[in-house]
A and B are shown apart, each in its own frame.
Chain A
Amino acid sequence: MSEEESLPLLQITEPGAAPEETGEVKKAVAVGIDLGTTNSVIAVSRDGTPKVLEDDMGEALVPSVVAYAPDGSAIVGGLAKRLLLDRPESVVSSIKRLMGRGPEDVRSLAGVMPFEIEPYQDGETGMVRIKVMGHRKTPVEVSADILAALKNLAEEEAGEQVEQAVITVPAYFDDAARTATKDAAQLAGLEVLRLINEPTAAALAYGLDQGAEGLYAVYDLGGGTFDISLLRMEKGVFQVKATGGDAALGGDDFDHAIAEHFLKERAKTLGEANLTRDEVKVSLMTGRLAKECLTHENSGQWVLESDGQTSTHDLTRDEFEKLIEGYVDRTLEICAHVLDDAEVTASDVKGVVLVGGSTRVPLVRRKVEAFFGSEPLANIDPDKVVAVGASLQAEALTVGSDTLLLDVTPLSLGLETMGEMTEKVIHRNTPIPVAKAQEFTTYQDGQTAMMIHVVQGEREMVDQCRSLARFVLKGIPPMTAGAARIRVTFQVDADGLLTVSAREETTGVEQMVEVKPSYGLSEDEMANMLRDSMVHAKDDIQDRLLAESRVEASRVLNAVIAALQVDGDLLTGEERAKVDSAVAVLDQAIKGSTREEIDAAVDVLDKETQEFAARRMDRGIRDALSGVGVDTLEEKISEE
């Protein structure tokens, strides 16, 4: 066998570049998902061209509404939304508001949320549960049903498997809500490539990463929430500078304002005293229609028909704008506050990106333009722009990109200390990934355990921050008060997810405890759900393990080939032939689909190259001693 034949033609990839597809491995497409409160959107980008996917009715906006049958099966989207009118008890909507929430958070939303909250049961984590059609559901499961429907939609439309996704979350989402989103994706059979912030996704959709340096604002007015974010774009790097918003302000308020106006008129003409449920429902729907109409027309006429009585209402755009002006002004007050927070003025902002269906309302556009002094960017559909950006990021992560997204922690992370005070360990707006450690000590003689309470938020008192997790570090050797040194390490990964560990340092007694958020799911719950929800769970796991083995095997193969190219002369002909044949066997195994064969071939190649590695090290050391330095990539980078 000649050298040319035995050496597989594999390219060695640059660090950071996507690895070559090996053999027959079919590459599944990665999607971008905007998992919204009211609607969700899924998009796919190929060759830098994003495409928003539509369902069989031609709808891109999939209502984030799930209807459950008594057997627990789920219907998602437009159909479920229609069931909302006739069988509201079987339908769940706006579940995003409960992601990562505990029962006491939900109490403050009482009356607003159309959910029946379930009481806490023993052995459960603090995550809120709702009851629908006799089933106890966590927000994670409901979101997983939405994600699974979107995944199906993409698979049907693309004719390919969809296993990986970039999912967007609001910038203010805390750790519990982010973890819940990631768990939901896992339940739906999606690997989350990255969670990214919605405003960042919108900025990516506008290609602000293509050279436009400066400060940008993303103004996001949805159905029920308002968010404003300031982003800095510099040297191909995105950075979130400051965020603000109101979780209870949005386009629904516009509908309400019109509905109230119509109902007042109706009461005058019909002389009615009491509103019926039906009247409220009908007026709200009419209010929504009027809002949408007056976005394009200058005036219109609407008829309210309820309880056998009809009333007619005229409304002009001017009148409509007077009704909603207060709400729009409130969003601008929040904008002013965020600018202040970042120590910049409106004129420092180079451009404003509009996100959310409610930014279609002309008054909103005019007021935003007047406030920032520049015409807002709005040529991408504001309902789809976040999904578009997410799909571009999904492509960038899997195929490669020049742009880098450097995200920051949206909220400070800390620990409870004496007197129920908060000690911040990682401050907000710290670039991620980040790891920070802080030392604490015992306050009683002979203390052998310590409660560690992790909180998120900016306030000084613990009860004003959000409690993320509590755990007890046990096994501290008895010492006098203040002698123990407990080192608590916070680690936030690139998705903004937190891991906390603690260890006692003086005695070297180590105890690492990884925490799951209080409002998350326990490992057991997650495992059970995975078992229950996935019919093909076993196949999926096998597929994943096979994919992992292939990635790892390709890594080993590339490493050996690279080493042979540099130091091949260190082997005798006979030794080389052995290594080459092991390489060929592994290359063949990767193309096959038996994990055991791949792993075995990796082991053989490892063994066959042990002596080679030792000789290479010897040569490296000899070279270094004789002054022939090993060059490094950093040096190469700095030469560029």
Chain B
Amino acid sequence: MHGQVEEKSDGQRKVGVVPCWSCKGPVREGAAFCQTCKSVQPPGQVDHFARFGLQARFRVDVDALERQYFDLQRHLHPDRFVTRSSKERALSQLQATSLNEAYETLKDPLRRADYLMHLHGTDVLPNGCNLVNDQELLMEAMEMREALMEADSMEAIDKVAKQAANDIADCIAALECAFAEKDWETTCRLTTRLKYLTKMADETKAHRVKLKSML
């Protein structure tokens, strides 16, 4: 992106050392700062997990992730570079943007599952089209929708919401196992299911607000 990753020789790429744009000395590829002159570096093409120094896997300690996100933002956010040169300000914005993207992706189980599938080479389509023949999943989605449409009291909606929340928790637990076992067929199906469930939970919430304002 910023042309700093020069491919002078094979050796350079293998060892992952690139020149710092500011002091021109060696920097490890993907490092946020130059260890010599402390200048902020371009964010580079690192995957979201690596940005936090994590292994690419489904189970993530979200609290620890948030702490680390805050720590990194504290160093990389554009607010910290207001008085610096325009190049550093621009790099800090790119860094903070990449960090936000990585954090937003990893903190949410659905987006994390989607992203892991993407890293594996399978993009799970928004409507689960690549699994449209999954009858069981379709039936479940239709039943959930019916239950929501019929819910005309706060109690009934709360019941649907609770069911959705339970199903989501179950689905996430099942995803953890499936990802750990690298059972890609199951992870794909469960990711699609999580999509349906999350959509239902959102719709339930909207329905609830609407009903509350009518009562």
Contact = CB atoms under 8 A, between A and B. Distances in A.
A541 interface: no
Nearest to B78: A494
A137 to B, nearest CB: 31
Interface in A604-637: 609-610, 612-613, 616-617, 619-621, 623-625, 629-634, 637
A609 B38 CA distance: 18
Given A237-B70, A435-B97, A637-B72, A15 B33 contact: yes
The 4 closest A-B pairs by CB, nearest first: A620-B26, A613-B24, A16-B80, A559-B23
15 contacts: A13-B38, A235-B67, A396-B79, A434-B101, A548-B85, A552-B87, A556-B22, A559-B23, A566-B25, A616-B24, A624-B17, A629-B28, A630-B28, A632-B35, A633-B32
Interface in A543-583: 548, 551-552, 555-556, 558-560, 562-563, 566-567
A616 B205 contact: no
Interface residues of B, number: 57
Contacts of B25: 563, 566-567, 613, 616-617, 620
A12 interface: yes
B133 interface: no
A633 B75 CA distance: 10
A398 B79 contact: no
B91 to A, nearest CB: 11
A493 B93 contact: yes
Contact of B26 (A396, A431, A491, A630): A630
B212 A633 contact: no
B153 interface: no
Max chain A C-beta neighbours (<10 A), residue from B26, B67, B71 = B26
A513 interface: no
B154 interface: no
Interface in B1-51: 11-12, 15-17, 19-20, 22-28, 31-33, 35-40
A633 B17 contact: no
B97 A621 contact: no
What secondary structure prevails in chain B residues at the interface with A?
helix
B77 interface: yes
A314 B57 CA distance: 73
B31 A194 contact: no
Max chain A C-beta neighbours (<10 A), residue from B32, B84, B86 = B84
A328 B206 CA distance: 27
B21 to A, nearest CB: 9
Nearest to A394: B82
How many residues of A sit at the interface, in one of the four size bands? 35 or more
Nearest to A393: B79
A83 interface: no
A404 interface: yes
Max chain B C-beta neighbours (<10 A), residue from A12, A609, A634 = A634
Nearest to B14: A625
A555 B88 contact: yes
A600 interface: no
Given A404-B79, A562-B38, A634-B32, 6 more contacts: A494-B78, A566-B36, A613-B24, A616-B24, A621-B11, A632-B32
Given A493-B78, A621-B17, A562 B36 contact: yes
B110 interface: no
B209 interface: yes
B100 interface: yes
Given A434-B100, A633-B75, A563 B19 contact: no
Contacts of A620: 17, 25-27
